[in-house]
Amino acid sequence: MAIKRNKITVVGAGFTGATTALMLAQKELGDIVLVDIPQLENPTKGKALDMLESTPVQGIDARITGTSDYAETQGSDIVIITAGIARKPGMSRDDLVNTNAGIVRSVCENIKATSPDAYVIILSNPVDAMTYVAYNALGFPKNRVIGQSGVLDTARYCTFIAQELNVSVEDVRGFVLGGHGDDMVPLVRYSNVGGIPIEKLIPADRIEAIVQRTRVGGGEIVNLLGNGSAYYAPAASLVQMTEAILKDKKRILPVIALLQGEYGYDNLFMGVPVILGGDGIEKVFELELTEDEKAALEKSANSVRGVIQVVTGA
């Protein structure tokens, strides 16, 4: 059988969606279909064509198209959902819940009909709850419904650690557990630089400042931009997850997964470290946590539960 090119659909052609499409093309991860609402069909086609016309200059091979018609997304291997409204200064991600739940539901109905075998990555906020909404609307197995938060939160955390020590970001390792909100849990005990635990290198009060800055990292960008939220680092995070799946890399990355007993949580979507490979979420890692870490995770889980209750009406 002939080998086929990968097909990746990006729903939402705004800041994160368009940036993601370009970064996917730059890595030649597949052909890209950018989808937005019918009222924005021409601008969506225009963005896609503009990106396509950059490919000869960039020396990359990717077909990029824009549309509002899901027929063109038929048979996608990966669907990335960035559709929805973004917050502005003074808002929390949770303020977006009602609007975005409706958008994510309607997008998922279309995906279910046109790409029933796809791996679906959700970005729309509040993303833990939106991943739950997508899972229910899609009816896909849990390994194929994956939320993005931890890769981005960890990238921010590692950036701040590298800045603090004036070392390369390449040598910083760590990760962030829990919901994508201001009580997310950067795991200091599991963070190191070149194999050296950060607690041996950075004073406790500075580590605490880095943890706090990470927790509000999204808000820091929202306040600086003034009229929207982050998109370069979020897009890079989506691309890393997509690459892990399409190349069956079996990366260990923090993603939003359905927990069914892991960490003591049932039927909750939240950020945890997983193996991300050719079959999506292939395994959830359950780490031993201290009592303090457990309490911090419980606080974050309670916030996620509260938002999910808004969408379930419970």
Which residue numbers are catalytic?
A: 180
The answer to whether the peptide bond before residue 89 is cis (omega within 30 degrees of 0) is no
Among 34, 48, 86, 222, binds ligand NAI (CB under 6 A): 86
Q: What is the CA radius of gyration of the chain?
A: 19
Residue 195 labeled ligand binder: no
Residues 106-125 that bind ligand NAI (CB under 6 A): 106-107, 123-125
Does position 100 bind ligand OAA by CB under 6 A? no
Which residues pair with residue 119 across a beta bridge? 78
Q: Do 287 and 273 contact (CB within 8 A), yes or no? A: yes
Whose tokens are 């940036």? That residue is 19
Does position 230 bind ligand OAA by CB under 6 A? yes
Binding mask 31-70 for ligand OAA (x = CB under 6 A): ----------------------------------------
Distance CA 249, CA 241 (A): 10
Distance CA 50, CA 58 (A): 12
Residue 105 labeled ligand binder: no
Residue 36 labeled ligand binder: yes
Q: Do 137 and 104 contact (CB within 8 A), yes or no? A: yes
Does position 188 bind ligand NAI by CB under 6 A? no
Distance CA 210, CA 208 (A): 5
Q: Do 87 and 95 contact (CB within 8 A), yes or no? A: yes
- In the complex, minimum distance from the CB of residue 125 to ligand OAA, in angstroms, rounded to a whole number: 5
Residues of this chain that bind ligand OAA (CB under 6 A): 86-87, 93, 125, 152, 180, 218-219, 221-222, 229-230, 234
Residues of this chain that bind ligand NAI (CB under 6 A): 11-17, 35-37, 40, 82-87, 96, 100, 103, 106-107, 123-125, 127, 148-149, 152, 180, 228-231, 234
